[in-house]
């Protein structure tokens, strides 16, 4: 009995200790006193949004405080960091503002075109030290992604304009972002497919050719990347570029890939080989002709396809040459003759190895792998040669047609473009735009611009962004101002009347559809 009473006493004693122990006054600083709660919200933070380079990033979230309305006790900090999965952990956090409302011009550092970023607002209550955060997910976009890039000659110096798909234009793009002057602008060259040359990041290429000092530019930002000479293993002594482009020999999963780079400088050929192997790829030295010398002068055109990755025309010997892409033979990279003979010969309608005329113009035809070349004979007649870049062992012939052209003014054309959907070549002569039909050998339509407004450049694009048919862009110059007229080409290739006109240009030298 006593033992039982002792146990009960002990339990009672312990409970008493707990009970009185809980009455001890708390001197700690762990009180649950309410603090000012800052709430930051913004519907824009719910998902990623795009900001174009050159635009201002403007953000002003809604702010609320639970215990105060005094904004002066808050400290605002906007930071930004790259949110690319490959680098985000290591990406530096860069402070871009201390204001409540963000207004930040997206141009250059820390923003890189095409990269995702987190823009984070931190709001700190200076009284409590508590900070609330709100993250915005931002993708830096390029408003120059789709549209017409226009190369102008401003008193001998080159500049770029951009015509957006809504036919608004932005001028002075080149001078806005580059310091090196383009002297004597000649031509724009862009690649429709990415190039992996291990000189810079894989992507499309943009070259601007000029009388001298031609350069490679960032395809997206149009900021200068490299001097012309840097793109060669040995810089050419004379810089007189007329062609700098890439041909595609193969298509993988519907996507073309670059195989062979062709540069024509001072009439001589330089080639560049890419194809997945490591190492820096640059344009090589001057290619020799089959006679082992440099006595040739190439017309400023190159075409390429599956069988023949590059075909060029020599206006000195008045003949075509072919250039091989990857081939472990010493002749690969030189000018080579076309196969001849009864079984493997490629020539039937005319001789690719002996044309005997001067090339004036060349462009794609309305059949894939087919090309139209406008030639001038020794007796000043215009001929249309048609050939293809793909053949087979059983059907080796690539020559398709030779026609004495019935195209008034073609020998003195100022600009031209071939249609890739209908059998037409559009060409300009003074202020007259003509549609020459290759199938009927006749000019079937003309369009007259105002007298004195002469055509300086023409470009045809089949894959226009709205997928509502091809467009023809025609640049004109009246001696003081340049314009670009846009024509919606119908299924028969008809020009009709222009649908849009954009003005405010200097003399337009060239234009390309960028996509």
Partner 1 sequence: MEKIVKKTVLLFLLILAFASCTKNKELLFDEANLVYVEYQDSTDYTFATRPAAVVMDSIVVSYRIIGSVSAKDRQIKLVPTAATTAKAGYHYKVGTAVIKANEFSSKVPIYVYRRPGLKDSSLVVVLQVAENEDFKPGFPKRLNYKFTLTDVLKKPSNWETTWVSYFGSYSEVKFKFLITATGKTDWNSSPLPQDSRYLSQKARNALLEYNQTYGPLIDENGQQVFFP
List residues near partner 1 by CB under 8 A. 233-234, 271-275, 277-282, 284-288, 292-294, 326, 328-330, 332-334
Q: Are 370 and 390 in contact (CB under 8 A)?
A: no
Name, in order, each residue with C-beta under 8 angstroms of 23's C-beta and a sequence gap of 6 or more. Answer: none
Virtual torsion, Cα 81, 86, 90, 92, nearest 10 deg: -20
DSSP 8-state code for residue 480? S
Neighbours of 438 (CB within 10 A): 22
| Residue with Cβ nearer partner 1 (271 or 456) | 271
| Residue with Cβ nearer partner 1 (21 or 328) | 328
| Residue with Cβ nearer partner 1 (112 or 288) | 288
| Residue with Cβ nearer partner 1 (117 or 321) | 321
| Residue with Cβ nearer partner 1 (213 or 261) | 261
Closest distance to partner 1 from the beta carbon of 260 (Å): 11
| Residue with Cβ nearer partner 1 (182 or 259) | 259
| Residue with Cβ nearer partner 1 (222 or 273) | 273
Neighbours of 360 (CB within 10 A): 19
Neighbours of 26 (CB within 10 A): 7
| Residue with Cβ nearer partner 1 (302 or 474) | 302
Q: Can you say how many angstroms the Cα of residue 323 is from the centroid of all Cα atoms in its chain?
A: 26
Closest distance to partner 1 from the beta carbon of 291 (Å): 10
| Residue with Cβ nearer partner 1 (181 or 332) | 332
Closest distance to partner 1 from the beta carbon of 357 (Å): 28
Q: Are 346 and 340 in contact (CB under 8 A)?
A: yes
Nearest 5 degrees, angle CA 145-CA 148-CA 153? 125
Question: At residue 19, what are phi and psi to the nearest 5 degrees?
Answer: -65, -50
DSSP 8-state code for residue 291? T
DSSP 8-state code for residue 110? T
Closest distance to partner 1 from the beta carbon of 207 (Å): 19
Closest distance to partner 1 from the beta carbon of 99 (Å): 42
| CA–CA gap between residue 500 and residue 233 (Å, rounded) | 45
Nearest 5 degrees, angle CA 477-CA 209-CA 280? 155
**What b/e sequence results for 404-418 when a residue is b if at least 16 CB atoms lie within 10 Å of its CB, and e otherwise?**
ebebeebeebbbbbb
Percentages helix, strand, coil for the chain (3-state, rounded to 5) are 5, 45, 50
Closest distance to partner 1 from the beta carbon of 192 (Å): 22
Q: Are 362 and 371 in contact (CB under 8 A)?
A: yes
Closest distance to partner 1 from the beta carbon of 214 (Å): 20
| Residue with Cβ nearer partner 1 (12 or 233) | 233
Closest distance to partner 1 from the beta carbon of 272 (Å): 7
Closest distance to partner 1 from the beta carbon of 332 (Å): 6
| CA–CA gap between residue 507 and residue 505 (Å, rounded) | 6
| CA–CA gap between residue 185 and residue 361 (Å, rounded) | 19
| CA–CA gap between residue 321 and residue 303 (Å, rounded) | 11
Closest distance to partner 1 from the beta carbon of 289 (Å): 11
């Amino acid at each position: 009995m006593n033992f039982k009473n002792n146990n009960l006493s002990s339990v009672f004693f312990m409970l008493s200790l707990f009970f009185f122990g809980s009455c001890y006054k708390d001197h700690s600083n762990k009180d649950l006193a309410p603090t000012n709660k800052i709430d930051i919200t913004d519907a824009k933070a719910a998902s990623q949004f795009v900001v174009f380079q050159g635009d201002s990033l403007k953000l002003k979230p809604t702010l609320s405080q639970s215990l105060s309305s005094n904004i002066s006790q808050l400290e605002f900090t906007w930071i930004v960091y790259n949110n690319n999965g490959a680098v985000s952990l290591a990406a530096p956090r860069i402070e871009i503002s201390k204001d409540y409302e963000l207004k930040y011009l997206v141009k250059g550092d820390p923003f890189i075109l095409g990269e995702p970023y987190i823009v984070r607002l931190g709001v700190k209550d200076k009284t409590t030290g508590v900070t609330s955060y709100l993250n915005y997910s931002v993708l830096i976009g390029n408003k120059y992604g789709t549209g017409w890039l226009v190369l102008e000659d401003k008193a001998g110096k080159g500049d770029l304009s951009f015509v957006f798909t809504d036919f608004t234009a932005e001028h002075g793009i080149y001078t806005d972002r580059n310091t090196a002057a383009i002297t004597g602008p000649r031509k724009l060259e862009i690649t429709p497919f990415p190039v992996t040359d291990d000189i810079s990041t894989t992507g499309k290429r943009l070259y601007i050719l000029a009388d001298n000092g031609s350069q490679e530019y960032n395809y997206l930002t149009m900021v200068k990347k490299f001097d012309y000479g840097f793109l060669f293993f040995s810089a050419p002594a004379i810089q007189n570029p007329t062609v700098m482009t890439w041909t595609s020999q193969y298509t993988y999963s519907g996507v073309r890939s670059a195989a062979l780079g062709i540069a024509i400088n001072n009439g001589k050929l330089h080639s560049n080989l890419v194809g997945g192997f490591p190492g820096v790829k640059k344009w090589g030295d001057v290619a020799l002709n089959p006679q082992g010398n440099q006595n040739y002068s190439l017309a400023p055109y190159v075409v390429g396809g599956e069988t023949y990755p590059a075909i060029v025309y020599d206006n000195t010997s008045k003949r075509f040459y072919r250039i091989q892409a990857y081939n472990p033979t010493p002749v690969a990279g030189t000018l080579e003759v076309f196969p001849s003979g009864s079984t493997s010969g490629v020539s039937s309608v005319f001789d690719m190895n002996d044309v005997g005329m001067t090339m004036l113009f060349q462009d794609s035809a309305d059949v894939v792998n087919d090309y139209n070349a406008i030639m001038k004979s020794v007796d000043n007649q215009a001929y249309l040669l048609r050939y293809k870049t793909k053949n087979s062992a059983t059907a080796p012939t690539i020559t398709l047609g030779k026609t004495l052209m019935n195209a008034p003014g073609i020998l003195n054309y100022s600009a031209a473009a071939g249609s890739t959907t209908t059998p037409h070549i559009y060409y300009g002569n003074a202020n007259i735009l003509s549609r020459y039909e290759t199938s009927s050998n006749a000019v079937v339509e003309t369009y007259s611009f105002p007298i004195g407004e002469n055509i300086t450049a023409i470009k045809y694009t089949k894959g226009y962004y709205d997928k509502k048919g091809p467009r023809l862009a025609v640049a004109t110059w009246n001696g003081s101002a340049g314009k670009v007229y846009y024509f919606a080409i119908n299924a028969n290739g008809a020009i009709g009347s222009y649908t849009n006109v954009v003005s405010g240009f200097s003399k337009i030298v060239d234009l390309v559809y960028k996509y």
